[in-house]
Amino acid sequence: TPFRMFDVETQNMVSTSNLGLNDQYCVVSHSWKGSEIDHQYFADARSLESWEDTIEGQESMCQDSILHQTVPESSDLGKIIEKSKADITALERKVASALTQARPRHDGERPKDIETLLQWYVDAREAESGMNRWQKEVHNAATLRSSAERRAAYYRTVWNAMVDCLTPSNTNTSQRIPSSDDPGSRQLESAIDRLTAGTLDQQALAEENFNAASKAWAEASSTAQFFDSNRALSYGTEALLAALQRIRSTRKIEQSIIHAKKLFEAHFPRGGKRYVWLDTCCINKRDSYEMTESLALMGDWYANADFCLVHLDTPRSDASWIEEWKYWKMPSHVPVELNINRFTDIATNGRDGDNTVKAQVEWATRGWTLQELVLSKMTYFVNSHWQHLERPIEVIGPFYFLCPFIHRYLKHPFVRGLGKPPVEVIHKLEQHLLSNSKHEMPRERQLVLVLEKIGFVPPRDLRDTTAEAQVGKAVLTAARMSPTILDELTSDALVDPSSDYLDLRGRIALVNYLLADLVSITGAEIVNDRQRISAFSKIGHLRNWVAGTGLLDSSASSVLITASDRQTTVLTDKAYSLMGILGVRFSAFPAEGLPKALSRLLDEVVITYNDVSVFNWTGKHCGSPLHGRSLYPASIDAFVDPTNDPTSTTQVNASQNILKLLHIRRARRSKIARDVNNLLADMLVLAKELPAECSTLYELDDLADTIKVAKFERLEATFHDLKGIVATIQAIVSRQVFTEVEEDAPSKISGRFGSFERIDGVRKSAFPHHAFSPKLPFRRQKATPRSSQGGQQHQASNSKNEETDDQEPDLQAINASIKHIIGELNYPLPTHFEEINDNHTQDGDANIQQGQEGRLVCPNPIVVSTAGIRGIFDIQRVVVTMIDPNKLRSKVTTAVPGQRIEGWCTISTGLSLTLVAFTCDAHVLAKQLDLMEVIAQDIDPKQYRGPVTDPEEPRGSTRWPRSADQRKVSRMVSFVQNSDPHNIAGEWVLARFSGSPGARWFLCQLELGAGNDFYGQRIATDAFSFENAAPEQGLSEYWHQFTEEKKARTCETLKMYILRKALWRKAGSEMDKLKRIEDAKKRSKGHIDWDAAAAIVQDLSSNKIINMGRMARLGFAGAGVELWANCLESRIEKGALDCLPIPLQTAVKDLDHNKMLLPAMFHAGREVHMF
């Protein structure tokens, strides 16, 4: 507990080192404004005489007696109020005396009174601070503009490479689309214009405001010189402003005590003494030991408090102290503007000139208030006038924090097995305990009062890991105390004394029922309330707090991201204010500076939890200057979420849109390829089902020839028509009734080769069963029988043909449509396409992944020492290409020792590349520039390295020539895949902690140290990711060839199946000739017909033997074609991949499936010592 606090009854500051078990206290969360009342001021006030005993006090008594009428003059609070008034009175006289002797301004004017003097002083300060602020904004805007222009050039380069890949060099010039006519290029240029225009607008606004601030400063310069020439008056004015700030601070202390007392009485059962703690005056900051200990323990003080009172004041402004002076002179004046009327009026965002700005709360931007909010059990809010901003859920008081843990407790099997008490027992208990209630109250408040009266006391020192046991202990304690209440019910004959619910088990079930009822009513409301608070307090990243499950399982990065956009008066407090929320402690030393303080904070987090999320930071200017801590940033600003940073939101959003556009362009090309190949697969199925006599089958054969040579960009324009044709044929096929027709029924055929079954003129035993399609009622051309039985068969055939006559117009229309599309595909490529949209969803790994809320614990040991951090890392070799290397070399040449140089580079994993902005030491950059030249020669496709060192050549088709970019990407992959990590030493590489899925890649320089140890030094970079990285140009070309090869192989397979149908049709024709001879034999009916016998002998000797040979040859050829077609169908994708180099096959397949090309060719589990 805190060392000292205010007693709400006596309003004295007392020592609370030994707080009683039933004592209660609250903490006040507020934003500091100027000179607050501190502990030393209290000590000084106690040593002075009473204000009313001084003549000065009686003469200039402030008329705010109504405000301070509840403050005993003998109390500590009364004494500081008296001292504050005395200070203002004394300073007023001093300043008034100096003002009469002051030298006038250059224009001869002099302030006529103290109010005018204060106005001059505030105007001069605001003019100076405004000019300094906008000067910094101009510099930041210029930096953002330079960064945007660099990114715009990179995006244009990537886009042009993609267009060149999708429109190969062998494409006809007439088929190429000018960049100005390509909707995709127009969209890209529009997005790039927004990217650069946004930064131009920011720079123009910053320059405009800076010019206005410069003008204001020029006008106020004479006023500033007035204070420079009257130093005594200047010091007196500053002291008077500080005194006015302290008098307002006394009202803050007084109102905190008053409201804390009201809240204790309204929502918390009386225990022991009650206290209020404020960080401004309850810590002796002049005692370094106490200050250090307080900073380390402050998180525990917030967590153990019964509730937190939050004062949502107006934003700080120097002009507000003029209002305070007016209030001092005229008590009827309102010194503070009313900012919020209701809790729901608190604004989450707003802009200058917007009505919501007044409802903005500066409290949500301060560093210490984050810890005060999220660690407190319950919070109550008041506005700038100290009016209570009520919320319905606050009536449950201490149960607000407890309800989520009660929910977990009630799920325990033992608790669930206790059962439920009779409803009448609950009703009678509530009536008995609430009979004295004078006012109507909500159901949740009734339950809270019942639980309090039966002796249930919410656990105070609740811990996430033991919450269920602590709640169970409180329930057991209440059950043992409740017999007194139940005895009263029994004496009033309200409950049967013999009831089982009077024993301990029954009383536990009774308490559990009340808790379950409370949780069911308030559970959703608590979550909604926390979501509302998180919105205006900007803690949305702390999802565990919103869920009410505590913070122990939250990742350190979520806390650091939340705290990164908050400000503190003392820079080191940005680190110290997070000790409690991160669950660590270390001694504070404000003089050490923020980089050292943040380093020690992160050291404790890594040592305590092995949480590697602290290394997920970005910022090229945020590298730590500390030796051995290059893995850490120098400022907590490195954890800022770019999408929430107002200075870079426009650029980040524009960059994301451009990357999305680039991804959609590639995804669209991939979708076209998949759609066309899927359509060919459907055509292949139709080729199996359509009979050989169907003319549409052979039109599909011509269409396959055309599709095989057509470009995907050309097929896109006719894809919907092609899809409609295939769907129409499928519908016709699906409407047919597959019935056995008598003429087509299997029959036994006898001949000199024995008996065998036949179907449709071919031997069933000669071919696989699945090769035969069901009989479809398409018109067939058959020989006319020469017997009367043939006439009957002819009539049956006519009947069947009448049923299929309606199919002929459909087939004729389909054939005409196919011929029309074939003609269109042979025309030049049109110059208009529909604009790119984002309707194409991503597959697999391309889905957006949500950030993890739990701790990112590394399974491997991490050793933290003064010499550095040693851990197990994944090392990914990359190809780093500097942008403007000559300019960087000139910077290196002129750099002084220890100077850092910033620049841009591209990082390629061999498969994809991204643009990165970096900052590093001059000597580190010099080494990489030298290595870059060597690596560039090694991967240069023009440099001959011999056949042994090149990657394996494609094993399949050689009809695709390899371009320079393809040869380059092959060499890059070979370079990146070097199996010996010692060969990587000295290069810039990507590294991340092994075994941690959420650990991000970062850029570092890898060195080989003594004893073959690896040393590393992180290089500070802006945010980069390979999730939206652009594929290497050579890989894109390979992918383009893969899709073309896959299409060609599918078309060839389709043609094979159609050829099989044609061969079997010819085989069936030969069988029909043999059938006529067999029919002549049957017509003899056992009698010798010498004419027929002569014909049989003649046919047997010549035609029959020839026809049977033809039939066998065509039949077996058809079977062989089908087997080959089946083989091709099963190896379409694999055969297309075999045309690519083996190291690139997986990457091309991932690219075809629209997956992200993440770093995958890394050395896993390497121990590295990071300096």
Q: Which residue has the tokens 């149960």?
A: 399
Can you tell me whether residue 578 is helix, strand or coil?
coil
Going from the C-alpha of 1055 to that of each of 314, 817, 1125, the distances in angstroms are 79, 19, 9
The kind and range of the H/E element at 961 are none
Answer for the pair 1045, 957: CB distance below 8 angstroms, yes or no: yes
Q: How many residues belong to the chain?
A: 1171
Kindly state the tokens that stand for 1139. 């045309």
- Report d(CA 988, CA 983) in Å as an integer: 12
Nearest to 1006 by CA among 1026, 1024, 1023, 981: 981
DSSP bridge pairs for 4: 15
- pLDDT reported for residue 802: 46
Q: Say if CB 117 and CB 99 are below 8 A apart.
A: yes
Is-contact 1012 983, C-beta < 8 A?
A: no
User: What is the C-alpha to C-alpha distance for residues 47 and 82, in angstroms, rounded to an integer?
Assistant: 12
**What is the SS3 assignment for 1047?**
helix
- Phi-psi group of 844: left, alpha or beta (phi > 0 → left; psi -120 to 50 → alpha; rest → beta): left
Please give the Cα distance from 511 to 389 (Å, whole number).
32
At residue 642, the pLDDT reads 65
Rounded to the nearest angstrom, the gap between the alpha carbon of residue 262 and the centroid of all alpha carbons in its chain is 43
Determine the residue type at 1052. Answer: E
How many contiguous H segments (helices) and E segments (strands) does the chain have? 34, 21
Q: Is 1016 helix (H, G, I), strand (E, B) or coil?
A: strand
pTM assigned to the model: 0.80
Alpha helices in 750-865 (DSSP H): 788-804, 807-825
Q: Tell me, what amino acid is at 96?
A: A
C-alpha 390 chain-centroid distance = 34
Find the distance separating the first CA and the last CA of the chain, reported in whole Å: 40
What is the CA angle 604-606-612, rounded to 5? 145
436-474 burial code (b ≥16 CB/10 A, e <16): eeeeeeeebbbbbbbbbbbbbebbbebeeeebbebbbeb
How far is it, in rounded angstroms, from Cα 437 to Cα 431? 10
Place of tokens 């006023």: 223
| Average pLDDT along the chain, 1171 residues, taken 10 residues at a time | 92 88 92 89 78 42 44 82 93 92 88 92 90 89 84 75 56 44 66 78 89 90 90 92 93 95 91 92 92 92 93 88 92 90 77 49 90 92 94 91 89 85 78 72 89 87 81 90 63 51 78 92 92 90 82 83 90 94 91 94 95 93 93 93 61 64 69 82 80 80 85 81 85 57 37 33 33 36 38 44 52 82 73 44 37 76 94 94 91 91 90 88 94 88 58 50 86 88 91 92 92 91 83 85 84 78 66 57 51 50 48 48 51 81 87 80 91 92
Nearest partner of 553 among 541, 562, 565, 544, judged by Cα: 544
Cβ atoms 883, 150 nearer than 8 A:
yes
Say how far apart CA 943 and CA 941 lie, in whole Å.
Answer: 5
Contacts of 647 (CB under 8 A, 6+ apart): 140, 144, 202
CB 975 within 8 A of CB 935: yes
CA distances from residue 1003 to 907, 932, 991, 1016, 1024 in whole angstroms, order as listed: 9, 15, 6, 10, 10
Question: What distance in Å separates the CA atoms of residue 991 and residue 1003, rounded to the nearest whole number?
Answer: 6
HSE of 1103, CA atoms in CB hemisphere, 13 A: 13
Q: What is the pLDDT, as a whole number, of residue 1048?
A: 84
CA distance 445 to 38: 38
Beta strand pairing call for 1002-1008 and 988-993: antiparallel
Q: How far apart are CA 594 and CA 634, in angstroms?
A: 7
Measure the CA angle with vertex 74, ends 70 and 75; round to 5°.
65
| CA angle 1123–1128–1130, rounded 5-degree value | 100
Strand partners, 611: 857
The three-point CA angle 392-395-399 to 5° equals 115
Kindly report the number of other CB atoms within 10 A of residue 272's CB atom: 11
Distance CA 396, CA 446 (A): 9
Q: Which of helix, strand or coil describes residue 913?
A: strand
Chain mean position to CA 73? 57
Burial-class residue 135 by CB neighbours within 10 Å (0-12, 13-18, 19+). Answer: middle
Tell me, what's the pLDDT at 951? Answer: 47
Q: Which residues are bridge partners to 307 per DSSP?
A: 26
Phi, psi of 784, deg, nearest 5: -80, 125
Picking from 248, 312, 300, 301, the residue whose alpha carbon sits closest to that of residue 275 is 301
| SS3 assignment, position 440 | coil
- Rounded-to-integer distance, Cα 518 and Cα 407, Å: 10
DSSP 522-549: HHHHHHHHHHHHHHHHT-TT-HHHHHTS
